Amino acid sequence: MTIAPTRGRPGTERGSAPATGRVLVVLAGLPGSGKTTLLRRLSAGNPGLAGVDSEQVAERLRGAGLRLPYRLLRPAVHLAHRRRVLRRIAGEAPVVVLTDPWTSRTWRATVLRTARRAGRPVRLVLLDVTPEVAVGGQHARGRRISARRMRRHVARWAELRGTLDRTGDGAGGAQVSVADREAAGRLTLVEVLGASGS
């Protein structure tokens, strides 16, 4: 695993190898950190990219006429989303980009194991924003989580970051980069895939 800090300047660590063939990109961060926004931007003009975001499932349910509050839809959304994630990773799309808080050990292990079986190298992008910025992002998108759930995400995120910095555990051998909000706004798919050679 390599950690390539991208604060203020997106890019990968010098000498990192570009991804070839099928690849999985995980955009990880607190709820409201900007994962969905980054996915939409990376997807633009990249027809070979298959983006997987839980909001896509929520939109389909709402489009089917379900008008329940999101807190009631959440269990069904998460179940359908996770099934979709595993199908996409095992599928034929050249690049799969997953947005995920990455704070569940069990789910991380499942995703990484599925990627290994599918022969997909993994690029992990950590969106490093403060909890306050993430809460602001939740308000801006109009979909908030409870303070209790947010505290749990924050605690697990801090634990993940500390473990990654010390041992690389949680990355499954993936190339890891870290981007703040400013850097994420300039990050390109080529850089995420490690082809910039910066």
Predicted confidence (pLDDT) at residue 99 exceeds the cutoff of 50? yes
Tokens of 13: 């660590």
For the chain, the straight-line distance linking the first and the last C-alpha, in angstroms and rounded, comes to: 17
21: which residues sit within 8 A by CB, 6+ positions away? Answer: 94, 119, 120
Higher pLDDT, 7 or 135: 135
Answer yes or no: is pLDDT of 120 > 50: yes
Q: Which CATH number fits domain 3-192: 3.40.50.170, 3.40.630.30, 3.40.190.10, 3.40.50.300?
A: 3.40.50.300
pLDDT of residue 117: 96
pTM for this model (two decimals): 0.84
* pLDDT band for position 20 (cuts 50, 70, 90): low
pLDDT at 75: 82
- Label residue 7 by pLDDT band (50, 70, 90): very low
What confidence tier does 74 reach under pLDDT thresholds 50, 70, 90? Answer: confident
Residue extents of the structural domains in the chain: 3-192
d(CA 171, CA 153): 17
The 3-state secondary structure of 68-137, one letter per residue:
CCHHHHHHHHHHHHHHHHHHHHHCCCCEEEEEECCCCHHHHHHHHHHHHHHCCCEEEEEECCCHHHHHHH
Closest Cα to residue 48, out of 1, 5, 100, 95? 95
* Phi and psi at residue 9, to the nearest 5°: -150, 100
Q: Is the pLDDT of residue 87 over 90?
A: yes
Tokens at residue 32, please? 């409201």
